[in-house]
Amino acid sequence: MMRDMLDRFAGMGMRFPSPAELGEMSVALGLAALALAVGVLVGQRVGAQLAGLWHRVLGEHANGIQPRLCRITRYLTTALLLSPLTGAWPWHPPTTLLLGILLGLVMALAVVEVLRGLGLPRLITWAMGTIAFASLLSKTMGGLGVIEALLARIGFDIGTRRLSLLSLLTVAVTVILIYALVRLANRLLAEWIGRAHGLDATQRLLGQKLASIAILAVAFFVGIDLLGIDLTSFAVFSGAFGLAIGFGLQKTVGNLIAGIILLMDRSIKPGDVIVVGDSFGWVNKIGVRAVSVITRDGKEHLIPNENLMTQEVENWSYTDRNVRVRIPVTVAYGCDLELAQDLMLRAATDSPRVLDTPAPNVWLTALGENGAAHDILIWISDPESGVGNVKSDVLNRLWILFGEHGITVPAPRRDVHMRALPPAE
């Protein structure tokens, strides 16, 4: 029966491994298992220490990579041990294929974990893992040059340049790797600048924005250099294209510059309470294009940076966070005016959000047609928590005090004068 199986393999152009080759494959599997065991051990011990170091370096920006560092360390250690093993002995082809598959697999898993930790989409990470697996397997088997030549032949010529599958694959891999490095560099610089104690919140935010722009510019020129793109051949086209982009994106560029100016002069910064037109709320963040303002209703208004430069803006916490609030109250004629004013002060003082310094005050503002009009003047230090709720709290307390002491609020009164109609003829 074994003889029939061997003959069948030979008829299909396949050869069953000899006993010597099977023994060699067993030895290679044992060494690979040992490499994996060392990788697991290093991942558990060294990976945990690297995760702690990563969190100390990146802080809150470490959430993506940190949970994966143990697995990344495990796969990379295993790959580093398997890589010299593939060339340490003149293995037979079946053993070389086996080691190439294992090496490509652990490296592909490492690539997937790193890219997923940097926030890249799942489809892109698995595509990069597949490319890493195929490249290492082909290199181990000595066929990487053949695959590159095959991919280079699949394509077509555009003028003096050739657009092949190999060039497209190279561009895609380069762009993805540069994008991943840009994300990592942004996280590192954002955390380091955020920890600068000599800068206030606005200066740190400005530094992070400028650093992000600088990283993008460096990444662009590095990518152009790696891909070997000659920008001089696009001089005329790039000039016309840049002019068109300048007209089309002038608002975007204006908003970008306005945002940088806002951060530099610190007239508006995250946490400020501002009023722009009908939008009232606290500044959540200052972006490249717009400022995010969250209202008391939980709605987030995105106001273009340019609007904050050209329109009138009320900043309730620019130099001082204390804000004065007016609460109009009218009491009926005939009431004890001094008692009513004392009750107004008591209601304002008892409210928890009202400041003791500056102290609340009550002003008699007018003797109206229905009653004596007053303004209760109170100060609060947390305008981002809203104004309507503190007014409601003071008025609710005042309503109870007025009821207990017999102070009445006047109802609208209208005098109607009737004239006698002329007698009917």
pLDDT in tens, 71-88: 888 888 888 888 887 777
Q: Could you give the residue ranges of the DSSP H alpha helices within 195-277?
A: 201-227, 235-248, 250-265
Note down the domain range covering 52: 7-142
282: domain CATH number is 2.30.30.60
The predicted-structure confidence for 278-302, as pLDDT tens digits, reads as follows: 778 888 887 777 888 888 777 888 8
Instruction: Please indicate, yes or no, if residue 229 is contained in any of the structural domains.
Output: no
Same domain, 340 and 299: no
Q: Which of 281, 298, 315 is the last residue of a domain?
A: 315
Does 380 lie in the same domain as 277? no
Neighbours of 70 (CB within 10 A): 21
For the entire predicted model, the pTM comes to 0.55
Q: Does 54 lie in the same domain as 104?
A: yes
Last residue of a domain, one of 109, 142, 175: 142
Per-residue pLDDT tens for 24-54? Answer: 778 878 888 888 888 888 888 888 888 777 7
For the stretch 50-73, pLDDT in tens is 877 777 776 665 677 778 888 888
Q: Is residue 33 domain-shared with residue 92, that is, in the same domain?
A: yes
Let me know if residue 243 belongs to a domain: no
For residues 104 and 29, membership in a common domain is answered with: yes
Provide the domain count of the chain: 3
**Same domain, residue pair 11 and 138:** yes
Q: Would you say residue 237 lies in a domain?
A: no
Structure tokens at 361: 């005050």
Report the alpha-carbon distance of residue 411 to residue 120 in Å, rounded.
66
Do 374 and 397 fall within a single domain? Answer: yes
Shared domain for 131 and 32, answered yes or no, is yes
Question: What number of CA atoms fall less than 13 Å from residue 423's CA on the CB side?
Answer: 1
Picking from 124, 142, 160, the residue at the C-terminal end of a domain is 142
Instruction: pLDDT band for 328, please (50, 70, 90 cuts).
Output: very high
Asked whether the predicted pLDDT for residue 250 surpasses 90, the reply is no
Question: Does the bond joining 358 to the residue before it have cis omega, within 30 degrees of 0?
Answer: yes
Q: How much of the chain exceeds pLDDT 90, in percent? A: 10
Residues 283 and 393 in one domain: no
The verdict on residue 245 lying in a domain is no
Q: Is residue 275 part of a domain?
A: yes
Q: Which CATH number is 359's domain given?
A: 3.30.70.100
Residue 177, domain member (yes or no): no
- What does the alpha-carbon distance between residue 50 and residue 70 come to, in Å, rounded to a whole number? 8
Is 176 domain-assigned?
no
Residue 413 reports pLDDT greater than 50: yes
If asked whether residues 21 and 112 sit together in one domain, one would say yes
For residues 355 and 281, membership in a common domain is answered with no
Shared domain check, 352 and 281: no
375 φ, ψ (degrees, to nearest 5): -120, 120
Instruction: Retrieve residue 338's tokens.
Output: 């001094």
What is the average pLDDT across 157-180?
79
Answer yes or no: is 174 within a domain: no
In the prediction, which pLDDT does 200 show? 64
pLDDT exceeds cutoff 70 at 369: yes
Whole-number Cα distances in Å, 410 to 100, 166, 329, 406: 92, 86, 10, 12
Q: Residue 374's beta-bridge partner residues?
A: 329, 364
